[in-house]
Chain A
Amino acid sequence: MATAVYSPSRHDAVPPARLTHLQMLEAESIHIIREVASEFQKPVMLYSIGKDSSVMLRLAQKAFHPGPIPFSLLHVDTGYKFREMLEFRDAYTRELGLNLIVWRNEDALEKGANPIALGTQRCCGLLKTQALLDGLRAHGFDAAFGGARRDEERSRAKERIFSFRDSGGQWDPKNQRPELWNLYNGRIGPGESIRVFPLSNWTELDIWHYIHLEKIPIVPLYFAKERRMLVRGDSLIPVEQPFVKGLPGEEQWVRCRLRSLGCSPCTGAIRSDADTVPKIIAELISFRSSERANRIIDHDQDGSMEIKKREGYF
C-alpha cells in the first residue's frame, strides 16, 4: 500500500456534496425569510411586481412549504404603473391564493400629482415614499421585505440585510446595526421597523438565471415586442398616460422591452429582440450600462438613491 496522506474513503459512502451559487443564495434567503416570519409580530412583503419581487415571492413559497406564506403582500401603487403590471399582479396573486394589499396616495393623485406636473423627485416622494410609509403605518407592519440587491447601486452595497428604520421610517446610514454571521437583530421599539432584504447578495444575473431555472412567471413587459413609444434621442418613453405627449412624429412602433419596471412615464424602454429569458440573459451580459441607468429618475442628482433611502424609500 502506498502511504497516502489523503484518504478519500475517510468519510465513507457520502460523496462530497456541493451547492451551486444559486443554491447557496436560495438557502440563505430562505433562512432570512423564516427568521422574519418567526421574530416579528406583523411582517409584510413589499411586492413591486418586478423580477426581483417575483423571485422573492418564490423564495417565500419555498420557505414555508408545504404551509402557506404566513404574511400579506403590499403593493404601493403610484397610479402610473403599467396596465400589464397590474393585470399580472392580480392574476398571479389570485392564482397563488395570496393576501394582497394595494396602497395608493389617493390624496396626492386627486390633486393631480404626476411626474410632468411635479418633477420626478417630488412625484416619487409623494406617490412612492410617502405612500409606502403611510401604508406601512396604517397597517402597523413592523417588518417589510424588499427585493433590493446590493449590486444595484453603490449606496446599496453597504445596506444591511435587516435595515433599521426609526419611527419616521427613515434610514440613517451611520446608525445601522453591525450584522455578523447569520444572526439578525430584529428587536425594535414602538413605532420602529425593519426593512429586510433577502436578495441582498443576489446579482441581476443571478435573478434572471433563477427565473430561468425555476420557470418563474414574469410580467410580459420584460419581453421584446412591437410597442407604441415616444422616441426622443436615445430614450424610448412608453405612451400610456394621457399626459405623456410627443411632438409630431415622435410616437412610433418600436420593437423594445423594459429592463426594469416602474411607472410608465418614468421608465425608459430599450430597443431589443430578447423575447425569452435566455435571450434577456444574453443581452444582459453584453450590456455596457448598469440596470438603473435606464431609470430616468436616478440621474436627477448625484447620489439620489441615497437621498431617497434616507427619506424612507427602499
Chain B
Amino acid sequence: MSQESPVLAEPDEITDMPETSEPFEIEDFLAAEQQKDLLRFTTAGSVDDGKSTLIGRLLYDSRSVYEDQVKAVTRSHAGEADAIDFAQLTDGLRAEREQGITIDVAYRFFATTKRKFIIADTPGHEQYTRNMVTGASTAELAIVLVDARKGILTQSRRHAFISSLLGIRHVVAAINKMDLVDFSEEVFAQHQRDLLSLAEKLEIPELLCIPISALNGDNVVTRSERTPWYLGPTLLEHLESVPIAEYLQHAPFRLPVQRVIRPHQNFRGFAGQIASGIIKVGDAIVALPSGQTSRVQSIQTFDGALESAFAPQSITLTLEDEIDISRGDLISHQANTPVSTANFEASLVWLHAEPFTAEKTYLLKHASQTVKARLNVTHRLDIETIEQESAQSLSLNEIGKAIVKTSRPLMVDAYRDNRITGSFILIDPANNATVGAGMVRHAEALEPAETRSEQKTGALLLLPQENIIPTLEAAFLASGEDVVVTRIQKPEVWRTLLRAGFIVMVPADASTQTEIVTLNAGGEFAKQTLLEADHETIQQKVTQLKKEAEQNDREF
C-alpha cells in the first residue's frame, strides 16, 4: 500500500516494490488520509549534487512511484542486480533527457502516513535563478543540496540567499554523498559551521544540516547506522514535523477581492482567497482604497455559511452596508490595515532575456489588480558576495532593488510580513511576458499618496448606432484595451470607469451624434463630436485621445 508504511528497507531491486500484505481497512485509511496536511518545499543544488537522485529516493521510498515508472528507468546488466536510476525517475521533458539536465521547475508529489508533499524541483544550472525563485515563491521549506566533497560553493550560497529572499522560514542543508567522505563527522561539522554562519548572515531563522547519501538512502527516510554521531532527525522526519504556515493566521486579516458575486438584487458577495488572518461574522472591516467601513454580515461557502474563516480559505463575504467594492480592492480589519501606496521600495528579480528598461511602463500585477508601473533600479546584488552595488539596470537572473511607482495606489504589506500582499509580478505590455518578480521591502509610502494624480486614460463613447458596438468592442479588445458596454448614464460611474482606464461604450439615442468623452486635467468631462462614425475612424480617434491623455499625465 503506497501510503501506509513509507519506511522500507533499502530497496535494491524491483521486487522490493510495495506489496499489499497487511490486512487493510479502507475506511481507516480514508479517515487518516483526510487528516493529512500539505507541505510545499523546494529543492535546489548545483548540477550533479544529487538532487534528482534525492527526489527519486524520496518518491521511491515513500512508495509514490508506480512499478511501470520504475521499470522504465531500471538498467539491467547480465549477472548484476538491476540498478534503478533514481535521477531518471524525475527527469521529464525530452530536451532535458537529451541534455541530461533539468531545465525547468517540475512539481512532484508524494505522501507519507502523516503528510502530503509538493516538491518544486528547480534545476541548479547557473543561469536558472529564475527557476529557483519560481519554486521558492510557494514553498515553506527549502532543501539546499551540498556535495560533502566540495562544501559550500557559489551555488549553495545562491540557493540559501534565494531561500532567504523569498521568505522561506525553514531551510535544510542536505550534506549529500557522505558515502564518498567515509561518513566523516569532521567533514560534516566543518560544512555545518560554514552553513550556520551563512544562515546568520542571510537572516535565515532556521537552518538544519543533515548528513545523507541520496544514492544509498542514509538518513533520507531511514536512520543510517553509518552516522552514529548524528543525533538529529532524518530528512523525512524533519519534513513531516515542520509547522505549516503557522504564522499566516496570526497576521492581520487581508482579503484581496477577486470578484463580486451578485446572483440577484438581494445578494452582493465579495469573493477571494484570504491572504492572511482570521475573519468572523460581526467583525468591523474597511474596504480599501475607498476607506468605507462596514461589518461582516455573513461568510458564505458552497458548503454552508461559516462563523469564521482563516487563511488560506477561499470564501465570499457579505457586508451589513451597501458599500462600493470591486475586483482589485482589499478588505481588512479596521484596526490593522495595509499601507496604501503608489511609491515604494522593492526587491526585484529579473526573469526575462530582455533586460529591465527604466524608460518602459510595465504592467504590475499585485493581489487581484493590475496597474501600470515605472521603476527605477537602484542596486544590483552580487550573488557571489551577497553585497549590493549601485546599478540602473538588471538583466536575466539578476536580483536588485528598485523604487516602484504605480498608476494607482496598491494596498501592500512588507513581503517579510505577508507573501501575498507583499509580492508582485511585472508584465511587459509589448509581448505580455512575465519579466520580473518583486517583493515589497518596506510597506511605507515614499511620498504621501494623496499628492499623486489619478490616471485618466479611459475614453467613453456615446454611440447612436448600436449595431457597431460588437465590432468596435472586438477591435478594442484585440488592441489590448479593457472594454465596458453599459447603459448606465450616471456621471460618477462614468468618471470611475474612465479613471480606471476603460473604454466605455454607451448606446445613445439614435437621433444624436457619436461623441467621445474623456477626463481633462481638472477631472472634468471633455467632449468631442465625431461626424464620421464608422468603426475605424472611431477607433483611431479614441486611440489618439487616449495617447494624449497619457502624455498629459506628468508622472507617466
CB contacts under 8 Å to B, within A49-76, are 61-68
B263 touches A21 (CB 8 A): no
A189 touches B314 (CB 8 A): no
Say if the beta carbon of A260 comes within 8 Å of chain B: no
A185 touches B427 (CB 8 A): yes
Say if the beta carbon of B357 comes within 8 Å of chain A: no
CB contacts under 8 Å to A, within B249-302, are 249-250, 258-259, 261-263, 267, 269, 271-273, 278, 300-302
With a cutoff of 8 Å between Cβ atoms, the chain A residues found around residue B310 in the complex are 17
Cβ contacts B290-326/A at 8 Å (1 or 0 each): 0000000000111100001010111010000000000
Q: Which stretch (A22-30, A222-230, A243-251) binds chain B?
A: A22-30
Q: Closest CB of chain A to B271's CB: distance in Å? A: 6
Quick one: closest B residue to A25, CB to CB?
A: B38
A28 touches B427 (CB 8 A): no
- A38-B327, A183-B423 given as contacts; is B106 within 8 A of A157 (CB)? yes
Q: Closest CB of chain A to B308's CB: distance in Å? A: 8
Interface size on B, residues (CB 8 A): 91
With a cutoff of 8 Å between Cβ atoms, the chain A residues found around residue B106 in the complex are 157-158
Please report the C-alpha to C-alpha distance between residue A178 and residue B303 in the assembled complex, in whole angstroms: 34
Say if the beta carbon of A112 comes within 8 Å of chain B: no
- A62-B302, A179-B134, A181-B423 given as contacts; is B27 within 8 A of A21 (CB)? no
Quick one: closest B residue to A24, CB to CB?
A: B38
Cβ contacts A9-44/B at 8 Å (1 or 0 each): 001001011111111111110110011011001000
With a cutoff of 8 Å between Cβ atoms, the chain A residues found around residue B301 in the complex are 62, 65
Please report the C-alpha to C-alpha distance between residue A18 and residue B17 in the assembled complex, in whole angstroms: 34
Q: Closest CB of chain B to A270's CB: distance in Å? A: 14
Please report the C-alpha to C-alpha distance between residue A38 and residue B368 in the assembled complex, in whole angstroms: 9
Interface size range on A against B: 35 or more
Q: Closest CB of chain B to A61's CB: distance in Å? A: 6
Choose among B3, B37, B365, B420 the residue that contacts A18 (Cβ–Cβ < 8 A).
Answer: B37
A151 touches B109 (CB 8 A): yes
Say if the beta carbon of A241 comes within 8 Å of chain B: no
- A173-B104, A177-B434, A282-B24 given as contacts; is B258 within 8 A of A34 (CB)? yes
B93 touches A173 (CB 8 A): yes
Choose among A189, A201, A212, A289 the residue that contacts B68 (Cβ–Cβ < 8 A).
Answer: A289
Say if the beta carbon of B118 comes within 8 Å of chain A: yes
Choose among B67, B134, B429 the residue that contacts A180 (Cβ–Cβ < 8 A).
Answer: B134
Q: 17 A-B Cβ contacts within 8 A?
A: A20-B34, A20-B38, A21-B37, A21-B116, A27-B313, A30-B273, A34-B314, A38-B327, A62-B303, A65-B302, A151-B109, A157-B92, A158-B93, A182-B138, A183-B365, A303-B93, A306-B93
Known: A11-B250, A188-B432. 11 other contacts (CB 8 A): A17-B278, A37-B259, A62-B301, A67-B267, A180-B434, A182-B138, A190-B478, A209-B34, A289-B66, A289-B68, A290-B68
